[in-house]
Amino acid sequence: MNPALTTRYSFGGDEHIFVEIGHEMSLEAFFLGLSITKGLSEARIKGVTEICPANASFQVKYDPDIISPRDLQREIKAIEAGAKRIAASSTEATMLPTRIIEIPVLYNDPWTHETLMRFRERHQEPSLTDLEYAAKINQLGSVDQFITAHSGTPWFVTMVGFVAGLPFLYQMVERPKQLQAPKYLRPRTDTPKLTIGHGGCFSCIYSVRGAGGYQMFGITPVPIYDPQQKISYLREFMVLFRPGDIVKWRAVGREEYDEIERKIGENRYQPLMRPVTFSMRDFNLNHVAYTKKIEGELYGN
């Protein structure tokens, strides 16, 4: 366990405890948060009504008539201490049974391009598209090189929420190689549904159409949220992603994009996904080799 991970507890009104893990986003912080919230859920503490994990933090809602905030804080801290002890003494504690899911992306698509052109006055560099701007600030020579960097490595789903079904994704590379892009200077009032966006170190998929401030790189034809649960692969649960999932972007052309959309309309499409076990230890030993291994499990290599 990373010794730099120091949690900070605070109270939100009369019904919430908010816990921040560390001072910056990292996979280690995400794993600790996941372990604590899993333990908290399994403890079934009377009075706890909701547990909301986030990227490197979590919030717990409770009924103050059943449990006091100080008593609940002590319970959570005990679970945290247990999670840290296990992580320090067991390799298995850094392993996560999960899924890797392929998401096709039409980069530089006409719909996000039309939208971003309507909002150039809100952008840092109005003379550039979002992809051109992202390539420039990440010191990549062209849009094509940026797309290769964006789609060339897997991404971890560290949080689902803010908008129903929207995943936040953290790139599985060494920190110096992470793609960075600030949000718009002022948010847009429109973003196409299923836009691939990026803000700070996080990518996301806009699950619904609406306002937004992330840079727009492309769009996927694959629905990720269906409250009516009519889409075949969302009938059991209306949200595709869950924290801990691994996403592999795959760049596609317009013809394949349209073909996938057609299959979805006919309920004949199933996203490519495979069960995998992610090892934080093996990832830290060799980022590149381990992500290639994970990708190989997706494609049967």
User: For residue 37, what is the domain's CATH number?
Assistant: 3.30.1360.40
Tokens of 176: 């110096």
**Domain ends where: 54, 89, 124?**
89
Q: Is 266 in the same domain as 232?
A: yes
Confirm whether 1 is domain-assigned. Answer: no
Predicted local distance difference test score (pLDDT) of residue 187: 97
Sign of torsion, CA 199 13 50 84?
positive
Token pair 């590379």 is found at 173
Number of structural domains the chain divides into: 2
**Beta-carbon count within 10 A of 90 CB:** 10
Q: Is 22 in the same domain as 116?
A: no
Give the pLDDT mean for 179-194: 97
Q: Model's pTM, two decimal places? A: 0.91
Contacts of 253-257 with CB under 8 Å at 24 or more apart are: 253/106, 254/106, 254/109, 256/104, 257/104, 257/106, 257/109, 257/221
Render pLDDT for 234-280 as a digit per residue (tens, 0 to 9): 999 999 999 999 999 999 999 999 999 999 999 999 999 999 999 98
Spatial neighbors of 199 by CB under 8 A, at least 6 apart, are 181, 182, 183, 213, 214, 215
DSSP 235: S
Distance CA 19, CA 33 (A): 9
Q: Is 149 in the same domain as 228?
A: yes
Predicted local distance difference test score (pLDDT) of residue 4: 58
Domain of residue 64 covers 7-89
More reliable by pLDDT, 28 or 290: 290
**Domain ends where: 89, 107, 129?**
89
Q: Is 139 in the same domain as 272?
A: yes
